[in-house]
A = this chain, B = another copy of it.
Amino acid sequence: MTEGLRDTHGEGTRLDPWLGAYAARAQAMRASEIRALFAVASRPEVVSLAGGMPYIGGLPLEEIGDMMRRLIVDRGETALQYGSGQGDEALREQITQVMALEGIAAHADDVVVTTGSQQALDLVTTIFIDPGDVIVAEAPSYVGALGVFRAHEADVVHVPMDAHGLIPVALESTLARLQAERKRVKFLYTVPNFHNPGGVTLSLERRPQILEICARYGVLVLEDNPYGLLGFDHEPLPALRSMSDDGVIYLGSFSKTFAPGFRVGWAVAPHAVREKLVLASEASILCPSNASQLAISSYLNHSDWHGQIKSFREQYRDRRDALVGALEENIPSASWNVPEGGFYVWVKLPAGLDSKSMLPRAVTARVAYVPGTAFYYDGQGADFLRLSYCFPTPDRIREGIRRLAGVVDAEMETVRIFGTGAADRSGSVEFPSPDLA
């Protein structure tokens, strides 16, 4: 007798009685490839070069434990209570000091603390994106950002990078084309430093060019910068936000420079945008965790966090060297970039190989990576894969690459015999693959 949205008669009943009740956006949600990989990579016998998990073993756990104890005993009535939607004021002040390392002059009022910078991505998308709106993003782009954009039914248009980051003339021609097509381009999503997954850094020379192009087309810039302080060879480049106050929303995170387990990130936005972000965050979570925020604040106050970042940089440089050295030795038929910071190497497979169809065989050989297709909105990227060197030890990295080399060799043998592979199916790729090697 029902005319409601619950399916009490049809075929779908046994699977999901609420199938007819979901919102349109829920249809577009699908399990990310990284999610499935987390389950695989957690098995101890697998060398995971997949996830972006930082090397937490490098932290002084005794010292952090003592700090947490003092925090609860001395300030528990604040740390365990609700806080403000915008975030703890003292922490926001400290965040402005962290950002000053990249040339940003911001006020604590400009900062919104979020549940990891992932929540900041979600909030920005929430307040700007109607279904069908366009987001311009590097090719490839961070898989977690693409997941948010997909959940909000955005259209993502990729713009190629090269070894110096996003290519200004490619950005300009893409925006001109989209303008001619009367598309509503809401923002440029970019990871300028030690790109995930590309590993490259936007050159100093190109930074004002990118800003000028976006300003001319009336397009906001969303600068996502989790890795900026993790450069191996030189001081951080000035952030895009340091060159434009009201044309840039900047996202930062403590997940890579300290620890992701607290889930503390932040956004800096033009004043009126910041107001909307706070309202959207309050609707979403009421307020970020005071316990987490005050833990970060204590850490910044009482620990040698500059020294810890220096130590992380040295550890990650060793691991990058281990990864790149092992690639040279074991998989010379592939090509890759050598990142100057961050967590990732972007590898182009020998012609004919498909990173997605190869993955099950890699996992069988006890090594995991992320296939390149995860980092594109449109299915391209099968000839690439992302390797992370942040978590395993150098020895484990070398062992992982030896295992991967065996899988690649076997795939190449198959391609030689049967002649099939990714290269034969790339006719539908709309944008050129980036040249990152």
Q: Residues of A at under 8 Å CB distance from B?
A: 1-6, 8, 15-19, 21-26, 29-32, 35, 38, 51, 53-54, 56-57, 59, 61-62, 64-66, 68-73, 76-85, 115-116, 118-119, 122, 126-130, 133, 144, 147-148, 150-151, 179, 184-186, 215-220, 246-247, 255, 259-263, 270-273, 276, 279-280, 282-292, 295
Q: Are B115 and A280 in contact (CB under 8 A)?
A: no
Closest approach, in angstroms, between the C-beta of A264 and any C-beta of chain B?
A: 9
In the bound complex, how far is the Cα of B261 from the Cα of A68, in angstroms? 14
- The residue in A59, A118, A261 that gathers the most chain B C-beta atoms within 10 A of its C-beta is A261
Chain B residues in 8 Å Cβ range of A133: 23
In the bound complex, how far is the Cα of B1 from the Cα of A387, in angstroms? 43
Q: List 10 A-B contacts (CB under 8 A).
A: A6-B219, A29-B127, A29-B279, A53-B82, A56-B80, A65-B72, A68-B68, A115-B263, A151-B280, A259-B291
A271 nearest in chain B by CB position = B16
Chain B residues in 8 Å Cβ range of A179: 3-4
Q: Are A61 and B56 in contact (CB under 8 A)?
A: no
Given A23-B133, A51-B82: A216 and B1 within 8 A (CB)?
Answer: yes
In the bound complex, how far is the Cα of B300 from the Cα of A247, in angstroms? 47
Q: Are A147 and B26 in contact (CB under 8 A)?
A: no
Chain B residues in 8 Å Cβ range of A68: 65, 68-69, 71-72
A5 nearest in chain B by CB position = B218
In the bound complex, how far is the Cα of B108 from the Cα of A431, in angstroms? 44
Chain B residues in 8 Å Cβ range of A282: 32, 35, 147
Q: Are A276 and B29 in contact (CB under 8 A)?
A: yes
A51 nearest in chain B by CB position = B82
Q: Are A286 and B151 in contact (CB under 8 A)?
A: no
Closest approach, in angstroms, between the C-beta of A325 and any C-beta of chain B?
A: 26
Q: Are A84 and B38 in contact (CB under 8 A)?
A: yes
> Within the complex, which residue of B8, B17, B23, B77 is in contact with A57, where a contact is CB–CB below 8 Å?
B77
Q: Are A129 and B270 in contact (CB under 8 A)?
A: no
Closest approach, in angstroms, between the C-beta of A233 and any C-beta of chain B?
A: 27
Chain B residues in 8 Å Cβ range of A8: 218
In the bound complex, how far is the Cα of B144 from the Cα of A72, in angstroms? 28
In the bound complex, how far is the Cα of B151 from the Cα of A246, in angstroms? 25
Q: Are A59 and B80 in contact (CB under 8 A)?
A: yes
A119 nearest in chain B by CB position = B285
A32 nearest in chain B by CB position = B282
Closest approach, in angstroms, between the C-beta of A154 and any C-beta of chain B?
A: 10
In the bound complex, how far is the Cα of B65 from the Cα of A429, in angstroms? 55
> Within the complex, which residue of B24, B31, B291 is in contact with A292, where a contact is CB–CB below 8 Å?
B291
Q: Are B284 and A122 in contact (CB under 8 A)?
A: yes
Chain B residues in 8 Å Cβ range of A73: 61-62, 65
Chain B residues in 8 Å Cβ range of A295: 291
In the bound complex, how far is the Cα of B2 from the Cα of A179, in angstroms? 10
Chain B residues in 8 Å Cβ range of A6: 215, 218-220, 247
Chain B residues in 8 Å Cβ range of A129: 23
In the bound complex, how far is the Cα of B270 from the Cα of A19, in angstroms? 11
Query: Given contacts A115-B115, A263-B285, could you give 20 more A-B pairs where the C-beta distance is less than 8 Å?
Result: A2-B217, A3-B217, A3-B218, A8-B218, A15-B272, A16-B271, A21-B128, A25-B130, A26-B128, A30-B279, A61-B76, A61-B77, A68-B71, A115-B289, A116-B285, A118-B284, A151-B283, A262-B289, A289-B289, A292-B292
- The residue in A15, A65, A246 that gathers the most chain B C-beta atoms within 10 A of its C-beta is A65
Closest approach, in angstroms, between the C-beta of A49 and any C-beta of chain B?
A: 16
Chain B residues in 8 Å Cβ range of A30: 279
Chain B residues in 8 Å Cβ range of A122: 283-285
Chain B residues in 8 Å Cβ range of A25: 126-127, 130
Closest approach, in angstroms, between the C-beta of A37 and any C-beta of chain B?
A: 12
Chain B residues in 8 Å Cβ range of A186: 5, 21
A290 nearest in chain B by CB position = B261
Q: Are A81 and B59 in contact (CB under 8 A)?
A: no
Chain B residues in 8 Å Cβ range of A292: 263, 289, 291-292
